[in-house]
Structures are given as C-alpha cells and as structure tokens.
Amino acid sequence: MTAPLEFGLDTFGDVTRDASGAMLPHAQVIRNVVDEAVLADELGLDFIGLGEHHRADFAISSPETVLAAIAARTKHIHLGSAVTVLSSDDPIRVFQRFATLDALSNGRAEVILGRGSFTESFPLFGFDLRKYEELFEEKLDLFAALLSQQPVTWQGKLRPPLRDQLVYPPVENGRLKTWIGVGGSPQSVVRAAHYDLPLMLAIIGGDPARFAPYVDLYHRAFKEFGRPAQPIGVHSPGYVAETDAQAREELWPDYKAMRDRIGKERGWPPMGRDEFVNEAEHGSLYVGSPETVARKIAKTAKALGISRFQLKYSAGPLPHEKLMKSIELYGRKVVPLVREMMG
C-alpha cells in the first residue's frame, strides 16, 4: 500500500511588515516564525522547514536554533531545514546540530542538504565560490558517511582525514532523516540515489510536470544500484485565501516585490502581472482558494508520484497575520481536500 501524502510548510523567514506598513525587525520575524510553526503543529501538518540565508530580506541564518525553539513548543510536527547550505558549512557540525535537535524534539528532526541558490555564505565564511561543486560533493560524501553512526574513516581533498572517528551526540533512535534538495540538475538527482537519500525537488517556476524526467531518472538510478527508491518531495511557493481573487490580490504585490528584488541581482526583468497569473494557473505557484490549491497539489502529486508536498508559504513582506490565515486554511481545508482527491 502506498503511504499517504505528507503535507509540510517552508519559510525563509522573509522580513515582513507590521500593521502600519513598516518593516519588522529580524528578531520579531523570527519570533513570528515560531508562532507560525506552532499553528502548523496544532493543525496536524507533518513538517516545517526553515531555509538558511545570510542577507537582509530573510531573517533566518541559523535554522537549527529556531527549530530548537519550535521543538520546545510543539509535539508532533517534524522539524527540518529548507535547505542547509552544506557547501559552506562543516558536515560534522551540521550532523551534531541536527542530532541535538533530534534529541530535543524526541526524534522529529530532519535535514535537507543543498548547495543553495544564494551564494552569500561563501564569502561570509571564507569559502571559494569557484569550488562550488567540489565543496558540495566532498562534504556530502562525508555527511553520508556519518549517517551510519559508526566510527568514520574518511579522506578527501579539502579537509584533514578522519580515522575511526565517532561523532556525538548520536541520534537516539534510528537514522537522521536526510534529504537532498535539487533544483533541476540531473547530476544531483543521481547523486541522491547514489547515497540512498530521499529527493526534495525545488519547483519554483514552470509546469511541475516538467520534472517528471528527473523522477524517472531517480527511479532508474535506484534500479541500477539494486535498491528500492527513496521518497520524493516537492517544495513550491503558494498562498491560500478564501477565494482565488482574494489570494491573488493579497499575494501579488509582495510576491512581485520579492521576485523583482532577487531578479535584479540575477539579471531578470521585472515580473509582470501576466507572468504571475500564468504561474498561478499553469505553473508552480499554488495560489488561490482552498479548492484551487488542493486541485493543483493533487495534480502535482499524481504526476510526480511524490510522498510529501511542502508549501513555501512566505513571500516577501506579506504580513504575519495573513501568513497565519493562509496556514490555517492550508491545514484545515486544503489538506483534507487533497486527501479526498487522492482517494
């Protein structure tokens, strides 16, 4: 029997406005994220993921610290990153931090490892951006070796070797659930299968069905390795309101502000309303009434055969109060509708 679809939420801790329109301090945004996660737990959602960034428009630079605060106020929801930028971190320290989170949360910790689409962490922590690929590949190899929780003997090119090294604290029960976050690289898909790790597809533009070849590649790779395939998840942006019109009107100005700010750094043209509407109707933006968002999630889940859907519910300066309402509609209405549609 196929396992039921899991439902999660993701946020980067986007810096939001207060009631007067002024931008909130980062500290208040972080406290608001904790409240948002507590609501998600009360609604019975399966996962909350916090992204790691090192820039002015996102408040969360240390996801594990915020997740530890969430662990103390929740009972059931799984807690993870979205993503941990492994290339500019130390694999042993990442494992230790999430093993500690796992202890604090009684076994609810997960980690999603990725290279990250932002590069601020490289100069901040003294890493050479020219070694973008090499850093991730070598650090992932070491992290994968740690998951067995046996003495590790390992050697790479970028750090001293390890010989019969145990890492503490150990994960109390079983193995730390570790995903590989992928934005569309075939090499990354095969790499996840090579290390026998679940795959999280970051689908932030275009028809989600275009990722079907990556799903097929993932399954073919596992077949060649002689192992059963691991779960696949999808992370995509969205927003839920009572009606389609309300959802679009409330999201549009803040989504455009975020998209244009990032786009200016990357050489993209400003986002027009037609592009926004097209993404909402045909692409990977899950915005609308509960019924509309539920139909779109169910369609994606069936097309890609995923085990988890994670809605990136924050978008630019969209206020905390609107985010809380969107989370409530997602948990109370969208999730039951998707489950009904999926049979």
CATH number of the domain at 111, please: 3.20.20.30
36 Cβ partners below 8 Å, 6+ apart?
A: 9, 11, 48, 313, 320, 323, 324, 327
Which residue bears the tokens 């494992």? 95
- Tell me, yes or no, whether 186 lies in a domain: yes
- CA distances 89 to 7, 125, 225, Å, are 28, 8, 29
* Residue 49 DSSP SS3: strand
pLDDT of residue 1: 41
| Contact assessment for residue 181 and residue 160, using Cβ atoms and an 8 Å cutoff | no
Question: Which residues face 308 on adjacent strands?
Answer: 6, 233
pLDDT of residue 343: 86
| Contact assessment for residue 307 and residue 5, using Cβ atoms and an 8 Å cutoff | yes
Please give the Cα distance from 213 to 236 (Å, whole number).
Answer: 18
Please give the Cα distance from 259 to 261 (Å, whole number).
Answer: 6
pLDDT of residue 131: 94
State the total domains in the chain. Answer: 1
Please give the Cα distance from 121 to 124 (Å, whole number).
Answer: 5
Q: For the range 169-176, what are the long-range contacts, defined as Cβ-Cβ under 8 Å and sequence gap of 24 or more? A: 169/96, 169/99, 169/100, 169/103, 170/99, 171/99, 171/102, 172/102, 172/103, 172/107, 173/107, 174/107, 175/147, 175/148, 175/149, 176/95, 176/98, 176/99, 176/102, 176/109, 176/110, 176/111, 176/147
For the chain of 343 residues, list the mean pLDDT of each consecutive stretch of 10: 86 95 96 98 98 97 98 98 97 98 98 92 95 96 97 97 97 96 93 98 96 98 98 98 98 96 94 97 98 98 98 96 98 98 93
pLDDT of residue 228: 97
- Tell me, yes or no, whether 208 lies in a domain: yes
pLDDT of residue 184: 81
- Per the structure, the complete domain to which residue 202 belongs is given by 6-342
- Tell me, yes or no, whether 276 lies in a domain: yes
| Contact assessment for residue 10 and residue 45, using Cβ atoms and an 8 Å cutoff | no
Please give the Cα distance from 179 to 191 (Å, whole number).
Answer: 11
Phi, psi of 36 (to 5 degrees): -65, -40
- Tell me, yes or no, whether 55 lies in a domain: yes
Name the amino acid, one letter, at 288.
G
Q: Smallest Cα–Cα separation from 229: which of 282, 189, 172, 285? A: 189
How many Cα atoms occupy the beta-carbon half-sphere of 312 within 13 Å?
A: 23
Please give the Cα distance from 226 to 235 (Å, whole number).
Answer: 28
Please give the Cα distance from 343 to 337 (Å, whole number).
Answer: 10
Which residue bears the tokens 């597809």? 201
- Tell me, yes or no, whether 1 lies in a domain: no
**Structure tokens of 284?**
């990977």
| Contact assessment for residue 39 and residue 320, using Cβ atoms and an 8 Å cutoff | no
| Contact assessment for residue 51 and residue 63, using Cβ atoms and an 8 Å cutoff | yes
